[in-house]
Amino acid sequence: MAKSRLGKGLSALIVDGNDGIDNLAEIKEVYLDNIFANPYQPRTEFDEESMNNLRDSIIKNGLIQPVTLRKIKPDQYQLVVGERRWRASKMAGLKKIPAIIKECTDEQMMEIALIENLQREDLNPIEEAQAYHKMINEFTMTQEEVAKRVGKSRSSIANMVRLLKLAPKVQVYVSRETLSMGHARTLLSLKDKKMQIEVADYLIDRDLSVRETEEYINNLNKNKKSEKKKTNKLDTRWKDAAEKLSSFFKSRVKIKQRKDKKYIMIECEEYDNLEDIINLLERKL
């Protein structure tokens, strides 16, 4: 089932077999110091307890499943699959580990690393969103193309990438699952990042559900619009002044409130109207 989700040509690069090892590939011992991290690894957080458990297992039993590498220089390799095993092997004090050497492009490396983590459900939502964003930008893929590569719908990719519009602090909450995807999607309706943080802290403190968060933000937006209308509403003095100016210039005059300033706008259908107004002001001056 997993292979049907891979991009074209990727199935040949993923290890096969019941034990996760490609039975046709040559396995060789490679020095850990000659192995470098996958620059396209989407996973940025590795659970400390899980890594310690894997280290202890490797100390006791050795590294049973080889990592997959690609050669970049003579005796230098980059990880394609198996960063946890590589890190834990270093923690365990190993000098060499078993590895399968494959040929693959940068694009295939990124796809493999992303798909492996997705299938194991190792990525948090922000890591997943960043990986999709990187595929779109570095390899000029469309959301539709990314969706086909990873076996998801285009709307799912779009929704994940939108998470990167959240304030960085809110992204941390989502990555640590302090906030759910439902909370995150609701917070996206707030364009102001400072407001996103304030609301996120508020709903975390009060342990609001997604539904309660939606109601809270809807009320917040309504109050904001109502407040904006109030601040933009001019009192009768300004309205009277606009009427007097209209009478004086023989043209319609509007006075608008924008933030903390007011603007006088005189309507002119043609340039002749403007000349009349200028002449009138010159006579009065």
Model pLDDT for residues 171-196, shown as the tens digit of each residue: 999 999 999 999 999 999 998 999 99
* Residue 170, in any domain of the structure: no
Asked if the model's pLDDT at residue 233 lies above 70, the reply is no
Region 142-165: mean pLDDT is 91
CA atoms within 13 A on the CB side of 14: 22
Residue 42 contacts residue 117 (beta carbons within 8 Å):
yes
Choose the catalytic residue: 83, 111, 116, 128: 83
- Residue 261 CB partners (closer than 8 Å, separation 6+): none
83 is catalytic: yes
72 shares a domain with 144 = no
Structural domain contains residue 174: no
**What residue has token string 């595929």?**
135
Predicted pLDDT at 119: 67
pLDDT tops 90 at residue 21: no
**Tokens describing residue 14:** 């993923």
Q: Note whether 226 and 274 are same-domain residues.
A: no
Q: Sorting pLDDT into bands at 50, 70 and 90, what band is 202?
A: very high
How far does the chain reach from its first CA to its final CA, in angstroms?
A: 85
Cβ atoms within 10 Å, residue 105: 12
Q: Residue 141 is part of which domain span?
A: 124-165
Pull the structure tokens for residue 96.
């060499």
Would 114 be classed as within a structural domain?
yes
Q: In this structure, are 15 and 113 located in the same domain?
A: yes
User: Which pLDDT tens digit goes with each residue over 43-88?
Assistant: 777 878 888 988 999 999 899 889 999 999 888 999 988 888 999 9
For residues 102 and 153, membership in a common domain is answered with no
The structure tokens listed for 32 are 């850990």
Tell whether 173 is covered by a domain: no
Asked if residue 42 and residue 94 are part of one domain, the reply reads yes
| Inter-CA distances, 274 with 158, 266, 280, 282, Å | 50, 9, 10, 12
* More confident: 222 or 6: 222
More confident residue, 11 or 255: 255
Residue 129 domain flag:
yes
Domain tally, the chain: 4
54 exposure class (CB count in 10 Å sphere: 0-12, 13-18, 19+): buried
